[in-house]
Amino acid sequence: MHTGRIIFAQLMDWLPRYEFTKCVRRHRGHYRVRTFSCLDQFLCMAFAQLTFRESLRDIETCLRALQPKLYHAGLRGPVARSTLADANETRDWRIYADFAQVLIHRARTLYVDEPLGVELAETAYAFDATTIDLCLALFPWARFRRHKGAIKLHTLLDLRGSIPCFVHITEGKTSEVTVLDALVVEPGAFYVMDRGYIDFARLYALTQRLAFFVVRAKRDLDYRRCASHPVDRTTGLRSDQSIRLRGPKSAHRYPAPLRRITYRDAETDTRFVFLTNHCTLPALTIADLYHRRWRVELFFKWLKQHLRLKGFYGLSENAVKTQVWIALSVYVLVAIIKKELKLDRSLGEILQILSLTLFEKEELSRVLTASDGQNDPGECGNQLNLFDP
């Protein structure tokens, strides 16, 4: 029988504490703080995400019921609803945003060799946004519609491993395409986007920074065909053309040639038209790369199903952003543990196991790898898996 530390403490051992301390000092997180530290706040919020707590009172009640074990879990300060609420309201959310980036860097290193499902040596990203509805009366700063509030999570997802490497949180009425200006563009990388990101001035900025893009074209695109290339129509391809934009504004905003690829999906009988600035990659690879863009949609669904992102513990912008970034940190932490321990389970299964065993004195790797031999993986067809090609 394992008589060592509880699972929650073993789980938090994967956090780089020195880097967390640097993030706290950078944003003066412990200014006038006496007992309840930023680490205590992070651990309480991580506990809430891992165990699906509904409110601050729910967090307080559960943690107080486990009072004898809190010290061994790493919590040093007293856990009170008002103290946690004040911490979420006042402590800079950038502490947890910076720390999430530390975990993201670690995760991307682990998943760098993860198969993409496309013959592509370069890094590929999917860029998209999701909306989280809020009550405008409670969150007046998060304007979306006249009588509705919301925030948007603009996410750049590394398609090797489904790791979010850039997240920007805005109010709901923010136009998604404008967030392209905030990206730190990686030369040689591919950026895969839906038609909502058609802005030829911004796309040309990606080209000037030596990056590539694949974007779904709009139906009313005004262009002039310069050349046509042969395609294998049995693969679903219909055309591969070199074009130039012909509209007076679009031609000025994107003066360089583009590549237009038409593809028909046999399963759904849907016609797709893609635009890209890469001239040599096979047309079918471009179509397959855009198909991988759906991983960012699965990522958003997974977050909303498995983490606490539909209900918030605080009403201020700072509290909401703090909760979102800690939730993302939990997601990346579980992805790191999955890779480090070489687990065959999905992230959803790992979270379900942890939610029931956090304060048990068992070995973490044994709990996550144990199997009763009765579960058939084929029976879990509805489980979202971010790591399938």
Does 36 share its domain with 78? yes
Does 273 share its domain with 333? no
Q: Supply the range of the domain harboring residue 245.
A: 219-287
Low-confidence stretches of the chain (pLDDT < 70) are 1-3, 371-389
In angstroms and rounded to an integer, the radius of gyration of the C-alpha atoms of the chain is 23
User: What total of structural domains would you count in the chain?
Assistant: 2
Does 13 share its domain with 87? yes
Does 282 share its domain with 337? no
**Cβ-based neighbour number of residue 205 at 10 Å:** 17
Classify residue 52: in a domain, yes or no. yes
| SS3 at position 230 | coil
Q: Is the model's pTM score more than 0.85?
A: yes
Does 30 share its domain with 77? yes
Picking from 214, 19, 52, the residue whose alpha carbon sits closest to that of residue 125 is: 214
pLDDT for the residue numbered 1: 44
pLDDT for the residue numbered 387: 54
Q: Where are the alpha helices (DSSP H) in 30-151?
A: 38-51, 56-65, 67-73, 81-90, 94-110
Q: Enumerate residues 6+ apart whose C-beta is below 8 A from 107.
A: 161, 163, 332, 335, 336, 339
Give per-residue burial for 337-376: e unless 16+ CB within 10 Å, then b.
bbbeeebebbbbbbbeebeebbbebbebeebbeeeeeeee
Classify residue 257: in a domain, yes or no. yes
pLDDT for the residue numbered 121: 87
**Cβ-based neighbour number of residue 233 at 10 Å:** 10
Classify residue 167: in a domain, yes or no. no
Classify residue 300: in a domain, yes or no. no
CA 341 to chain centre: 22
Q: What is the residue whose two structure tokens read 């992230």?
A: 347
**Cβ-based neighbour number of residue 215 at 10 Å:** 25
pLDDT for the residue numbered 67: 83
Q: Could you tell me which residues are beta bridge partners of residue 124? A: 190
Classify residue 1: in a domain, yes or no. no
Does 28 share its domain with 79? yes
pLDDT for the residue numbered 33: 84
Q: What is the residue whose two structure tokens read 């304007």?
A: 143
CB-hemisphere CA count at 13 Å for 285? 15
Does 81 share its domain with 12? yes
Does 257 share its domain with 321? no
Classify residue 234: in a domain, yes or no. yes
Classify residue 230: in a domain, yes or no. yes
Picking from 118, 136, 135, the residue whose alpha carbon sits closest to that of residue 126 is: 118
CA angle at residue 236 from 233 to 240, to 5 degrees? 65
Classify residue 123: in a domain, yes or no. no
